[in-house]
């Protein structure tokens, strides 16, 4: 973080690492019909096997990892950060190093930070890809419902933030602006409290089908993406590379979302990254790159400025 950023952070709440972190791993939060819920990133053999899954839904248990500050004020409410991994609704898991690292850091600031697994898998056709998007959003709603009912976590329902990478960012945007596939849903999920809304969202190389969904809610948007992303459109185009034309209509990437947000008067911040690639926060060995820390520090300030 720059000196200016450090000085700004010192004047804002929940911006300074102050606590040890405890982690509740593999906490079940729902049982739903689906194909599977997680797959190792970078495991080509495991990924290949998923291409031939039976396609017959069966009951699957959704799990989350909950990162909590240790030693904070026991009478104070905590903000919540809900994180969703990427993987084209096909691979990925809640322990992906980026999500885990960001969650641990935010818990040290005083947040409850949660990384979730959600339902993955689809048959290779367009309607199935849309249904996979819907399932991910339904699971994120279920995760929020579960967390807000956990009184011991002391979550402030007025300070809930969402973030994700790639497909997880699509889900975070859907959570913030109530988007099922390409059909806007302006009403809040019946799972969540009356008047509930996401306070701000971090869109890390995600996209939307229709820019008009940003009219559904007044949610600030922080975005990061490589200007040479080979998987998700930076402005407008097909997602997930060569398969996109078979699975999706063209979508609007982070730059288009940013421009539309400004047009609508939403608070928005966009960070075009010169680093090439899609998963720019991790290198090939799944170690953190400098972008991981740039994203982390930007999320800290952006979210803190929305606390009041």
Write down the pTM of the prediction: 0.90
Parent domain of 144: 3-304
pLDDT bin (cut points 50, 70, 90) of residue 45 is very low
More confident residue, 89 or 70: 70
**With bands split at pLDDT 50, 70 and 90, how would you rate the model's confidence at 183?**
low
The mean pLDDT value for 32-57 works out to: 66
Residue 53: per-residue pLDDT? 57
pLDDT of 181 over the 50 cut = no
pLDDT of residue 36: 83
Band (102; pLDDT cuts 50, 70, 90): very high
Give per-residue pLDDT as tens, 234-252. 999 988 766 677 777 889 9
Sheet strands side by side (includes 20-34): 20-34, 58-70, 112-116, 78-84, 155-165, 200-204, 221-226, 268-273
Residue 277 host element (H or E):
none
Contacts of 204 (CB under 8 A, 6+ apart): 163, 164, 165, 166, 168, 169, 223, 224, 225, 281, 295
**CATH number, position 204:** 3.40.50.1820
In this prediction, residues 63-77 reach a mean pLDDT of: 95
More confident residue, 262 or 187: 262
CA distance 255 to 112: 30
Number of domains in the chain: 1
Mean pLDDT of all residues in 110-116: 98
Highest mean pLDDT of the ranges 28-42, 117-131, 190-204: 190-204
135-156 pLDDT, tens digit each? 999 999 999 999 999 999 999 9
Mean of pLDDT values over 6-32 = 86
Pairing of the two strands 58-70 and 20-34: antiparallel
Q: Where are the alpha helices (DSSP H) in 59-125?
A: 97-109
- Among 8-12, 88-92, 162-166, which stretch is predicted with the lowest mean pLDDT? 8-12
* pLDDT above 80 (res 2): no
Please state, rounded to an integer, the average pLDDT across all residues of the chain. Answer: 87
Q: Which run of H or E residues covers position 202?
A: strand 200-204
pLDDT at 172 over 80: yes
Q: What percent of the chain has pLDDT over 70?
A: 86
Q: pLDDT tens across 184-234, in order?
A: 555 566 777 777 889 999 999 999 999 999 998 899 999 999 999 999 999
């Amino acid at each position: 973080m720059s000196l200016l950023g450090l000085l700004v952070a010192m004047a804002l709440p929940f911006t300074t690492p102050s606590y040890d972190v405890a982690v509740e791993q593999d906490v079940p939060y729902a049982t739903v019909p689906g194909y599977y819920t997680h797959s190792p990133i970078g495991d080509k053999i495991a990924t290949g096997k998923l291409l031939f899954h039976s396609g017959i839904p069966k009951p699957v248990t959704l799990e989350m990892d909950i990162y909590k500050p240790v030693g904070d004020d026991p009478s104070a409410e905590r903000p919540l950060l809900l994180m969703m991994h990427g993987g084209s609704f096909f691979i990925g898991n809640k322990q992906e190093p980026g999500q885990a690292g960001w969650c641990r850091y935010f818990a040290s600031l005083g947040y409850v930070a949660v990384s979730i697994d959600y339902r993955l898998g689809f048959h290779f056709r367009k309607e199935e890809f849309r249904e996979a998007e819907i399932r991910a959003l339904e699971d994120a709603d279920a995760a929020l419902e579960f967390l807000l009912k956990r009184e011991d976590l002391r979550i402030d329902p007025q300070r809930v933030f969402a973030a994700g990478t790639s497909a997880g960012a699509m889900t975070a945007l859907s959570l913030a602006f109530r988007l099922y596939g390409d059909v806007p849903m302006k009403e809040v999920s019946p799972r969540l409290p009356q008047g509930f809304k996401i306070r701000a969202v971090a869109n890390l190389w995600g996209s939307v089908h229709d820019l008009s969904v940003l009219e559904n809610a007044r949610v600030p948007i922080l975005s990061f993406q490589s200007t040479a992303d080979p998987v998700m459109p930076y402005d407008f185009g097909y997602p997930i590379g060569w398969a996109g034309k078979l699975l999706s209509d063209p979508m609007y990437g982070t730059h288009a979302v940013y421009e539309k947000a400004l047009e609508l008067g939403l608070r928005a911040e966009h960070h075009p990254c010169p680093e090439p690639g899609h998963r720019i926060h991790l290198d090939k060995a799944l170690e953190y790159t400098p972008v991981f820390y740039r994203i982390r520090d930007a999320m800290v300030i952006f979210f803190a400025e929305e606390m009041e």
